[in-house]
Amino acid sequence: MIVLATISDMDRLGVVLDLDSGALNALSVRREFFDFTIVGRPPCRPFGITWTSTELFIANNRQLLAFDSELRYVRTVSNALQVNSHQIAYQNDRVWVVSPWTNSLIGLSLCAPQEHVELNLLDQTLRAYVPQSSSEDDDLAHFNSLLWANGRLHVAAHGFGRPSFVISHDQKTFQLLGVHCHAGSSIHGLALCDDELFWLSSGTGEIRSNRGTALPLSRTGHARGFAMTQNSFIVAISEFLSRREERCGGDSWIQVIDRHNLHITAEFHLHDTGSINDLRLLDTFDFAHYVDPFWQSQ
């Protein structure tokens, strides 16, 4: 299995890790990925990852960056996102971006920019997307992760010190179908398998589910970056650094956990990455993504 993880060290956009051999490669940051008009946040902050059959996308603050099948930078699809863009996912010809500062999902049409839309997660209304000024003060629940699966859209909310929660919507109508409350603390990531919804309770250091799973992680730190196969959980854990300006430094780890016996089958120590922001499996179906693998032939 091969993982792409976006990182925070300001020199690399991400790292590609082979979970079988341990081989590690990097995607370098380019000058045009920096936006020095951003205040209070890193000028380059790669986060969410998704793809179509031909292009891979990474959200970087206001940018949606596109890469080819060999992970070479191709173009910037849009500069119209919000600062602090988080996880992304491809669905119905749009790349959907979680925007915590606007409490919404931004759906960027890959075919027609005039068809960009925005889903308000507070009242489930869908409207044309118009870029706007926003700030951390506007972030009410810190929505950060999304999953389109089995006819539903699930979105995770960190909660900012209050209990985290997951909201679920009808995939077509966006009608609110339910809210899973008391999901843990500072949650990130969502995965669905056999009608069981999983996520990382980062604040308590656990993998949790809507059926009561509460698997403690063996390593302390900030768990963010989550993938799941039929047999394994893949979890990224970064050094816990309370000050935002420190998060461009420090180490991280990626663990592979057997879903059947809950033992760690592999752990990889990644030096000087800064915080890991997100990860995806490139060559294996991922129950945290529900998009066909980017590298299907490998």
Alpha-carbon gap, residue 48 to 224, rounded angstroms? 11
Mean of all residue pLDDT scores within the chain: 94
Task: Provide the residue ranges of all domains of the chain, joining segments of one domain with +.
Answer: 2-281
The predicted model gives 32-59 an average pLDDT of 95
Alpha-carbon gap, residue 112 to 134, rounded angstroms? 25
- 206-209 and 12-18 strand pairing: unpaired
| pLDDT more than 90, % of the chain | 88
CATH superfamily ID and name for 2-281:
YVTN repeat-like/Quinoprotein amine dehydrogenase (2.130.10.10)
Query: pTM here?
Result: 0.95
Which residue is associated with the tokens 């979970």? Answer: 19
Q: Which amino acid is at 122?
A: L
Question: Using 50, 70 and 90 to split pLDDT, how confident is the model at 111?
Answer: confident
- 165-170 and 152-157 strand pairing: antiparallel
C-beta separation of 223 from 205 below 8 A? yes
Model confidence pLDDT, tens digit, residues 200-252: 999 999 999 999 999 999 999 999 999 999 999 999 999 987 666 666 789 99
pLDDT for 298: 46
Model confidence pLDDT, tens digit, residues 123-171: 999 999 999 888 888 889 999 999 999 999 999 999 988 899 999 999 9
Question: Using 50, 70 and 90 to split pLDDT, how confident is the model at 40?
Answer: confident
CA atoms within 13 A on the CB side of 117: 17
Question: Using 50, 70 and 90 to split pLDDT, how confident is the model at 101?
Answer: very high
Terminal CA-CA length for the chain? 9
Q: How far out from the chain centre does Cα 69 lie?
A: 20
The predicted model gives 75-80 an average pLDDT of 94
Alpha-carbon gap, residue 171 to 290, rounded angstroms? 13
Model confidence pLDDT, tens digit, residues 13-34: 999 999 999 999 999 999 999 9
Q: How many helices (H) and strands (E) does the chain have?
A: 0, 25
Bridge partners, residue 234, by sequence: 227, 256
Burial degree of 280 (CB within 10 A; 0-12, 13-18, 19+): buried
